Amino acid sequence: MPKVLDSTNFSFHHQTDIYHGKVRDVYSFKDKLVIVATDRISAFDHILPSPIPFKGQVLNLIAAHFLEATKDIVPNWVESIPHSNVTIGKKCEPIRLEMVIRAYLTGHAARTYKSGQRMLCGIPLPEGLHENDKLQSPIITPATKAEEGHDEDISKEDIIAQGIVSETVWDTLEKYTRALFQRGTEMAAERGLILVDTKYEFGIYEGKVILIDEIHTPDSSRYFHLAGFDQRQANKQAQEHLSKEFVREWLMSQGFQGKEGQQMPTMSNEVIETISKKYIQLYETITGKQFVPSEVSSIEEKIIAAIT
């Protein structure tokens, strides 16, 4: 197996803090953030036991691709990408929401619907839907951004009532979310894909809402293959997708959904290699570019040199 970047613990001059997220290590400076995309992988709000070769590079480069392609819609936090695993950008005050937008009844929404619920984040869903059906129009189903544990669904009304953001800021978040999703949908279609659902995160910088974190990556989005979608749906067949959903499906097949008392399954080398290849496949499919892996020997030293 190739060398992986499991974690980092650098100490830079003028560094003020370090935060180890599920996937990224975030280094804080006075007015900047340095984010290192590791090869860790998470699902159901748990970090899986084995990192995935090249996953950090894939995520960082896909995010860079889409952040560059959407900066005319909304300003974003990125200032430079000195290494394929590293992004440096503006330090913002994060808005503690994930702006999830869905165009299809898939994943969490499908599981909620199957359980009998017909209301998702205050939005009513019609009867008679089947898994992966296209919704009449995209719906925004926000989630609170938890420091630990599970993010929680929340309605627009509760967001405003709880003072998480003002109604004015909410209107801006909704406008940006829909515009970004429309651009992502168009870009996916050009590559023979359907952008099924995704999430965006925003922050406040100098009093304005800006886009932060990654966008349109397999960790934050689901993609279906466009060719044959309608026929598969008509025949009630599983859709061919490129996303992290295959990781969740594998975990569920092993009896794990992140619930109390469930044992995290061990990942074989074959499973790890399959996941790595799928991440690379998504990068090449969605961007139209060939994936060129960075040299992974002495990767920590190369990252330090790139940052400093």
Amino acid at 167: E
Residue 218, pLDDT score:
82
pLDDT at 150: 60
* pLDDT, position 147: 59
| Pairing between β-strand 134-140 and β-strand 78-83 as defined by DSSP bridges | unpaired
Of 35-39, 54-58, 147-151, 273-277, the poorest mean pLDDT is in 147-151
- The pLDDT assigned to 45 comes to 84
Q: How far apart are the first and last CA of the chain?
A: 29
**pTM for this one?**
0.88
pLDDT band at 139, cuts 50/70/90?
A: very high
pLDDT for the residue numbered 148? 56
Can you give the pLDDT at residue 25? 96
What's the pLDDT band for 240 if we cut at 50, 70, 90?
confident
Beta strand spans in the chain (E): 17-20, 24-28, 32-37, 42-43, 46-47, 78-83, 86-90, 93-94, 97-104, 119-120, 123-124, 134-140, 143-144, 152-153, 193-205, 208-212, 221-225, 241-243
Dihedral angle of Cα 169, 174, 175, 177, to the nearest 10 degrees: 120
